[in-house]
């Protein structure tokens, strides 16, 4: 007799445009609802995922509010990525008084109110340096969870960008871990494999067949800089007359990671919320004289090429879409997390069926 697979249903807090939800869904986990306070997330989330969207602050929700969305008899997963700007290395002004610290504490509060069988969180590495993360782990352990966290280099999981993230998994079923890349048959890939077949664009141009495949315009000066840039290089490769005044100063010489082209056969740099701007990092296209397009940024975040971010016929607001893409959990990382959770649940399936472990 074939053993029936135990189902997993999930709630995704701080869901954004749906990167984590999409990845979990690819791993066979049924995400029932995503929660976010940003109205720009609603269309991409619902258009690409078979899940509801709740436009509300997590701080205003109770465990009772969210418990109704779980499938009866399923293993319940509470997932989320609390907004990371507070903890990011790019943020030089974060303090203990920042309101966004409380979002992680609200996540912890909801875990205590729901007591789902499994919890996962993805966030920036800098969170490890703050006591709020220790508080989060201690709270989980106090509620009977086995907790693990590790730093993950996204390139190891087949994501074509250098992006190191903190992944936490916690389970009331027993010890849990993230499956290694080799187990999932993942290996490093490149910029060119992700975007090499995209239609050519000029700076400031867009693809009539895909409005998201559009790039920022370049000033005459920045076009000269673009043409003088080498793959994997920096502004230090330019003729002296093209170097910005701020970079000529002693302090500016310590910031080489701007105004550069990506390298075709290597992973991309970390995709930020401003990846569409040539001057915001090494976001120049490897071979074309422009910054990468919005669609190319999404592909480097491992979103499917067909992922919709704006309704058909509506204007593409580059700053808004750039933020959604840059802040997203890479879909392939979400899938690896989901596969790890599914394998963990399968390993405990006999105990669940015999009632030794009982989902609420």
- Write out residues in the chain with pLDDT < 70, as ranges: 1-4, 84-101, 247-257, 351-360
Question: Closest by alpha carbon to 81, among 32, 36, 144, 143?
Answer: 36
Helices (H), the chain: 19-26, 42-48, 63-67, 101-114, 131-142, 191-195, 220-228, 245-248, 294-300, 318-327, 331-347, 349-353
pLDDT of residue 240: 85
Per-residue model confidence (pLDDT) at position 241? 87
Per DSSP, 268 falls in state: B
CB distance 292 to 283 below 8 Å: yes
Confidence at residue 91, expressed as pLDDT on a 0 to 100 scale:
44
**Looking at the whole model, is its pTM more than 0.85?**
yes
Which pLDDT score, from 0 to 100, does residue 326 have? 96
313: CB partners within 8 A, 6+ apart: none
Question: DSSP letter string over 165-181?
Answer: EEEEEEESSS---PPPT
Direct distance between the N- and C-terminal alpha carbons of the chain, in angstroms, rounded to an integer: 26
Are 268 and 296 a contacting pair, CB within 8 Å? no
Percentage helix, strand, coil for the chain under 3-state DSSP, each rounded to 5: 35, 15, 45
| Predicted pLDDT at 82 | 86
Q: Out of 41, 81, 84, 154, which one is annotated catalytic? A: 84
Predicted confidence at residue 255, as pLDDT, reads 53
Which string of DSSP letters, residue by residue, matches 276-295? T-GGGTT-B-SSSSSBPPHH
16-38 pLDDT per residue, tens: 999 999 999 999 999 999 999 99
pLDDT at 359: 57
Domains and their CATH numbers in the chain: 8-186+330-350 (3.40.50.150), 191-327 (3.90.120.10)
The interaxial angle of helices 331-347 and 19-26, nearest 10 deg, is 40
- Inter-residue contact 165 to 118 (CB < 8 Å): no
The vertex-315 CA angle with 310 and 320, nearest 5°, equals 65
To the query of whether residue 84 is one of the catalytic residues in this protein, the response is yes
CB 7 within 8 Å of CB 345? no
> Which pLDDT score, from 0 to 100, does residue 360 have?
54
């Amino acid at each position: 007799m074939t053993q029936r697979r135990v189902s997993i249903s999930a709630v995704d807090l701080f869901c954004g445009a749906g990167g984590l939800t999409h990845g979990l869904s690819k791993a066979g986990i049924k995400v029932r609802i995503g929660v976010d306070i940003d109205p720009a997330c609603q269309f991409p989330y619902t258009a690409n995922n078979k899940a509801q969207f709740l436009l509300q602050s997590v701080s205003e929700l109770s465990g009772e509010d969210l418990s109704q969305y779980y499938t009866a008899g399923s293993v319940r997963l509470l997932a989320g990525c609390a907004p990371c700007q507070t903890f990011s290395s790019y943020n030089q002004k974060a303090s203990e008084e920042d309101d966004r610290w409380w979002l992680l504490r609200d996540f912890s509060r909801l875990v205590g109110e729901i007591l789902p069988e499994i919890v996962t969180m993805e966030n920036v590495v800098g969170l490890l340096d703050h006591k709020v993360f220790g508080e989060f782990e201690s709270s989980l352990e106090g509620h009977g969870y086995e907790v693990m966290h590790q730093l993950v280099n996204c390139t190891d999981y087949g994501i074509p960008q250098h992006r190191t993230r903190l992944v936490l998994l916690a389970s009331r079923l027993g010890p849990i871990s993230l499956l290694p890349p080799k187990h999932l048959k993942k290996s490093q890939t490149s910029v060119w494999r992700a975007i090499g077949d995209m239609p050519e664009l000029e700076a400031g141009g867009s693809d009539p067949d895909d409005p998201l495949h559009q790039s920022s315009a370049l000033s005459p000066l920045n076009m000269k800089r673009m043409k003088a840039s080498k793959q994997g290089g920096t502004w230090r490769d330019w003729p002296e007359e093209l170097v910005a005044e701020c970079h000529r100063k002693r302090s500016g010489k310590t910031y080489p990671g701007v105004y550069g082209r990506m390298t075709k056969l290597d992973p991309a740099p970390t995709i930020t919320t401003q990846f569409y701007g040539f001057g915001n990092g090494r976001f120049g296209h490897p071979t074309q004289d422009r910054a990468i397009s919005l669609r190319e940024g999404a592909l480097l975040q491992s979103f499917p090429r067909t992922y919709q971010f704006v309704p058909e016929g509506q204007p593409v607001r580059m700053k808004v879409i750039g933020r959604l893409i840059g802040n997203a959990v890479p879909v392939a990382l979400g899938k690896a997390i989901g596969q790890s959770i599914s394998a963990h649940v399968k390993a405990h399936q006999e105990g669940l069926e015999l009632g030794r472990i009982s989902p609420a």
